[in-house]
A = this chain, B = another copy of it.
C-alpha cells in the first residue's frame, strides 16, 4: 500500500485532516511535571515514551497522521532515539492504519542518504519523511526510489524568515514556486512526493496549490505559530476538498485536554470544508 492510499483510508475513517505533531520537548515535560521525575537519560526516555502513548491514546481516532520531529528526541541523545523508535513501534503495533511521518528534514548526497533511508523507513518504520530540496533530485533519489513511502519536500516553510531564499526571484518567479514545479513535473515519477507549505503563508499556499494539482501538502503553522485555519483551507484544499495534512503540535499535545483540543480542531476544519 502506498503512503497516499494509507492516508486516504484514515482520512475517511477518522474524518480528519489533522496531523498531530508529537513534539515531546523534554523541557516542557519537565516543567509541567507531566509524567515522571526527569533527570537521567533513562527517565527522559520513559517520560517521552509514556507522554506519547498518552497523547496517542487520547487522539488516535481523530487524526490522519502522527508526525515525529527528530530534533525533540535527538536533543537527549541515544535514549531519545530509543523513545522515538519505541513510539513508532507502539503505533505500528496498535494503530497500524495511521501513517507515521518522520519530520527529520534530512538531505545529504546520494549514497549517504541511504543511511537516512535506513533510519527512517527500516529502523523507525516511518511511512513518510521530510527532506530539504537544496541538493537537488539526484541527491535525494534514495528517498524517492521508495515507491511506497512518502517524500515530503520543504517548499515554503512556516518561519518568519522563510523568504530570505525562498522568495528570491528566478526569472521573475520565486524560488519556492520553482521547487514546487520541479517536484510536480520531475521528481514525482513514483507519485510519492508531497510538499511542506506553512499555514502562515496562505497566499503562497494558494500559488503552490495551483502548481501541484491534487498533491497532498503538509501544512504546519496553525495554532502557536499563528496560521489562520479558514485562510489555509481556502487556499490549500485540492479539487476533492482534500489534499492537506494540517499539523498541530504544541496546541494539542500540551493542552489541558489534548483529546478535546484535537476534536475541536478536527470539527472546526470539517465545518469549514
Contacts of A206-235 to chain B: CB distance below 8 A: none
**A165 contacts across to B, CB distance below 8 A:** 133-134, 136, 175, 178-179, 182
Q: How far is it, in angstroms, between the C-alpha of A118 and the C-alpha of B75 when the chains are bound?
A: 5
Instruction: Check if A78 sits within 8 Å of B81, measured CB to CB.
Output: yes
**A164 contacts across to B, CB distance below 8 A:** 136-138, 182
- Within the complex, which residue of B85, B108, B159 is in contact with A109, where a contact is CB–CB below 8 Å? B159
**Do A159 and B136 contact each other (CB < 8 Å), given the known contacts A71-B113, A75-B119, A105-B107?**
yes
**In this assembly, does A139 line the interface, its C-beta being within 8 Å of a C-beta of chain B?**
yes
**A51 contacts across to B, CB distance below 8 A:** none
A234-272 to B contact mask, C-beta < 8 Å, 1/0: 000000000000000000000000000000000000000
**In this assembly, does A30 line the interface, its C-beta being within 8 Å of a C-beta of chain B?**
no
- Report the interface size class on chain A: 35 or more
A220's nearest neighbour on chain B, judged by CB, is B109
**In this assembly, does A166 line the interface, its C-beta being within 8 Å of a C-beta of chain B?**
yes
**A204 contacts across to B, CB distance below 8 A:** none
**In this assembly, does A59 line the interface, its C-beta being within 8 Å of a C-beta of chain B?**
no
A118's nearest neighbour on chain B, judged by CB, is B75
**In this assembly, does A189 line the interface, its C-beta being within 8 Å of a C-beta of chain B?**
no
**In this assembly, does A35 line the interface, its C-beta being within 8 Å of a C-beta of chain B?**
no
By Cβ-Cβ distance, the 6 closest A-B pairs, closest first, are A138-B161, A71-B115, A136-B164, A75-B115, A136-B161, A75-B118
